């Protein structure tokens, strides 16, 4: 028997209140798969992620995690299965970076228990994986935006999830850290973790995605392999630019896919 998808959307409509942003969304994410979501500003990418995470109610349809409606999951159990990296997070309190990452262990610690030595070791390991262990004692609100983003990724990894949902995880990172994050996503996939991420950089999706989904015009315009989905014509239609401009910008990546 085939195992249930890590995450599945069925006839899903998303939006705010009664205002629909997109509808008729159908897709499933398998273990060890990276699905990249591309779309212009305002297309509903963040709204979709928040709906998939149960933070916004679907306007129609259903979201399932491991075959169970997300709305019926206990939130602590859901947090043990799904990690979330938001697009941006300024922070309000002067926690240390290590304390922020330790917060990812909350769903695996008893209600009245404190993180133990094993939890701290996991948090430190996640900091090391992201190359920011040297910031463990730094005040989270005092470090750079890019460093905070890396700390948020470490916090999500500390949950030890089966699925990692990432909203533009490389947006505030310099070139070197962008490459490190992409390499780490590839490493997570090889270990069986599923990753759903949005990005404004199609070249990142072309590099690491098993499948790419194009969200625009209130629907999924296409979903499939990078070779069949992220074509110059499709990306030009998605972003409202010329096909020639897309081809010129992405030609090294498109050429590599066809070799």
3-state secondary structure of 49: helix
Query: Per-residue pLDDT tens for 154-203?
Result: 999 999 999 999 999 998 888 998 998 999 999 999 999 999 999 999 99
CA distance 9 to 22: 13
3-state secondary structure of 200: coil
Does 114 reside within a domain? yes
The packing angle between helices 243-258 and 232-239, to 10°, is 140
Query: Per-residue pLDDT tens for 97-133?
Result: 999 999 999 888 867 677 889 999 999 999 998 899 9
Does 2 reside within a domain? no
Residue 254: which domain range?
A: 7-258
What's the predicted TM-score (pTM) here?
Answer: 0.90
Residues above pLDDT 70, as percent of the chain: 93
User: Which residue from 140, 142, 160 is spatially nearest to 152, judged by alpha carbons?
Assistant: 140
Does 1 reside within a domain? no
3-state secondary structure of 36: strand
CA distance 230 to 232: 7
User: Which residue from 87, 231, 91, 233 is spatially nearest to 168, judged by alpha carbons?
Assistant: 87
Does 223 reside within a domain? yes
Q: How many CA atoms lie within 13 A of 54 on its CB side?
A: 17
pLDDT at res. 29: 96
Does 79 reside within a domain? yes
CA distance 167 to 50: 10
CA distance 212 to 199: 11
42-46, 87-91, 101-105, range with the lowest pLDDT: 87-91
User: What is 61-74 written as a DSSP string?
Assistant: EEEEETTEEGGGS-
CATH at residue 89: 3.40.50.300
Instruction: List the structure tokens of 119.
Output: 């939890």
| Number of independent structural domains in the chain | 1
- Those residues whose C-beta lies under 8 Å from the C-beta of residue 98, and which sit 6 or more positions away, are 120, 123, 124, 127, 136, 137
User: Which residue from 241, 247, 233, 237 is spatially nearest to 215, judged by alpha carbons?
Assistant: 237
């Amino acid at each position: 028997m085939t195992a249930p998808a890590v995450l599945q959307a069925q006839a899903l409509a998303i939006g705010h209140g009664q205002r629909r942003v997109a509808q008729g969304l159908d897709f499933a994410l398998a273990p060890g798969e990276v699905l990249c979501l591309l779309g212009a500003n305002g297309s509903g990418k963040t709204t979709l992620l928040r709906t998939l995470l149960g933070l916004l109610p679907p306007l129609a349809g259903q979201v399932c995690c491991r075959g169970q409606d997300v709305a019926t999951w206990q939130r602590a159990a859901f947090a043990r299965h799904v990690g979330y990296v938001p697009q941006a997070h300024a922070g309000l309190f002067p926690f240390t970076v290590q304390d922020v990452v330790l917060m990812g262990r909350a769903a695996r610690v008893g209600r009245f228990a404190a993180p133990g030595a094993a939890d701290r070791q996991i948090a430190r390991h996640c900091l090391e994986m992201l190359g920011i262990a040297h910031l463990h004692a730094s005040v989270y609100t005092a470090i750079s935006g890019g460093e905070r983003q890396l700390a948020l990724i470490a916090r999500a990894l500390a949950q030890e999830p089966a699925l990692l949902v990432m909203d533009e995880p490389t947006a505030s990172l310099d070139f070197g850290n962008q490459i490190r994050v992409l390499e780490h996503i590839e490493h997570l996939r090889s270990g069986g973790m599923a990753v759903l991420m949005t990005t404004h950089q199609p070249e990142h999706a072309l590099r690491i995605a098993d499948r790419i989904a194009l969200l625009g015009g209130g629907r999924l315009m296409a979903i499939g392999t990078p070779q069949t989905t992220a074509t110059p014509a499709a990306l030009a239609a998605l972003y409202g630019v010329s096909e020639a401009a897309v081809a010129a910008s992405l030609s090294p990546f498109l050429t590599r896919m066809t070799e």
